Amino acid sequence: MKAAFYNGMGEMEVREFETPVPGNDEVLIKLKATGICGSDLNMNKSKSEADKEPAGHEVAGEIVEIGEGVDSSMIGKRVAVEVLGSGKSCYSCWYCRQGQYTHCQNKSVTSSGGFAEYICRKSKGCYELSSDITWSQGALVEPLAVSVHGARIGKIKGGDTVAILGSGTIGLTAVTAARELGAGKILVSARHKHQADMAIKLGADATGNPENGEFENLVQEYTDGRGADLAIETVGGSRKDTVDQAIEVTRRQGNIVILGVFYGELPIDWKGPVLKEQRIQGSICYGIINGTHDFEVAINMLSKRSVNLEEIVTHTYPLENIEEGFKTAYDKSTGSIKVHILQN
């Protein structure tokens, strides 16, 4: 099969790779769409050696082959695949028994990802898509589930004012998640006009530039000076600006969820959150909360006619042109938000 790899020089290279064979409790999925994630962009630039297996974790496709122990009725199912957690989990360790598969202590060594024509994962990590969900919508299940998990773990309540820091893919999926989970007001920081426009289109009440205090003033204006009930940080990186900003815009005794992935040592001034009695919660990927997996919640949201999240997919490329897709994803002057690789 064809697959794409980080070549260690900041570029994506397409070459032949052995088609995986499903083992016990695994299925082989013919991939139809894979999203380019911000973490993919970061890893592509940080690699100094070529990868031996393809990356990519925002995937959707059709099950075409099964391994031992898998019911034959799985063949032909259209699925979103939980690549990083339940698709590789042991289902027997303490974390798996709590439904927190991302934290599994005995994950499968399978690491081949979705920038390819096929992928193998545990059948329990495949979540069925109805026929009215497009492949691009299917590949949005994973990033939406990340934001759903963040909002749920942040204890969002109906009527809450939610401040979302960042308007990339995760920031925009957080708009959809917050809206569908009952937020009263949704306020989003956005650097680029096309991202701000999309946030409003998806249901945000207002956007503000993160520079020069504009976003802080916006939150104060919408909350009569109190601050947001819940802040969701979605940017990450090597600077702590958005963490400081989240602390600033969140009310006393409010909740802050960190969805962004940070790198290096970032000194945080804890005086503010301590004096304001704020709760700061890390959030990574997804799992089961109150008996329901975040993937299931995300799929239910995408099934609604009122949810227009697919509009964030601004560009699509075939697998053989993935390097062009990465260049587009890096360059925000192209108007790119989410870039999808289509394998069919």
* Token pair in block for residue 89: 């989990």
Using the predicted structure, report yes or no on whether residue 156 has a pLDDT greater than 80. yes
Asked if residue 186 and residue 255 are part of one domain, the reply reads yes
d(CA 214, CA 208): 6
- Return the closest-CA partner of residue 193 out of 332, 300, 18, 22: 332
Asked if residue 32 has pLDDT above 90, the reply is: yes
CB 171 within 8 A of CB 140: no
Write out pLDDT tens, residues 270-301.
999 999 999 999 999 999 999 999 999 999 99
List the CATH number of the domain containing 328.
3.90.180.10
Q: Report if residue 299 sits inside a domain.
A: no
End-to-end CA distance of the chain: 13
In a domain, 144, yes or no: no
- Range of 44's domain? 2-139+308-342
pLDDT computed for residue 47 by the predictor: 85
177, part of any domain: yes
Residues 92 and 156 in one domain: no
Q: What is the pLDDT of residues 236-251, one digit of tens each?
A: 988 899 999 999 999 9
Are residues 167 and 259 in contact, defined by beta-carbon separation less than 8 angstroms? no
pLDDT for the residue 109: 76
Answer yes or no: do 252 and 170 share one domain: yes
Residues 252 and 178 in one domain: yes
Residue 190 confidence (pLDDT)? 97
> Alpha-carbon distance 199 to 193, whole Å?
10
Contact 113, 51 (CB under 8 A): no
| Tens of pLDDT, residues 12-28 | 999 999 999 999 999 99
Confidence of residue 141 (pLDDT cuts 50, 70, 90): very high
Tell me, yes or no, whether 320 lies in a domain: yes
Write the CATH number for 221.
3.40.50.720
Taking residues 187-198, report their average pLDDT: 96
324-344 as b/e: b if 16+ CB within 10 A: ebbbbbbeeeeebbbbbbbbe
- CA atoms of 344 and 124, how far apart (whole Å): 24
In three-state form (DSSP H/G/I as H, E/B as E, the rest C), the secondary structure along 142-203 is HHHHHHHHHHHHCCCCCCCEEEEECCCHHHHHHHHHHHHCCCCEEEEECCCHHHHHHHHHHC
Same domain, 132 and 158: no
Residue 239 lies in a domain: yes
289 part of a folded domain? no
Of the candidates 250, 237, 304, the one whose C-alpha atom is nearest the C-alpha of residue 281 is: 250
Residue 112: what pLDDT?
84
Q: Kindly report, residue by residue over 71-115, the tens digit of the pLDDT.
A: 999 999 999 999 999 889 999 999 999 999 999 999 987 668 999
At 197-223, the pLDDT tens digits run 999 999 999 999 999 999 999 999 999
Any domain includes 302: no
- Say what the pLDDT of residue 177 is: 98
For residues 95 and 166, membership in a common domain is answered with no
Return the HEC string of 48-75: CCCCCCCCCCEEEEEEEEECCCCCHHHC
Separation between Cα atoms, residue 173 and residue 120, nearest integer Å: 26
Q: Cα(319)–Cα(247) distance, rounded to whole angstroms?
A: 41
88 vs 82: CA distance, rounded Å: 8
Is residue 99 in a domain? yes
Question: Both 126 and 189 in a single domain?
Answer: no
Given a contact cutoff of 8 angstroms between Cβ atoms, the answer to whether 6 and 36 are in contact is no
How many domains would you assign to the chain?
A: 2
Cα(316)–Cα(324) distance, integer angstroms: 10
| Domain match, 135 and 62 both | yes
* Strand order, beta sheet including 250-258: 206-208, 185-189, 161-165, 228-233, 250-258, 279-282
Q: Is residue 6 within 8 Å of 51, Cβ to Cβ?
A: yes
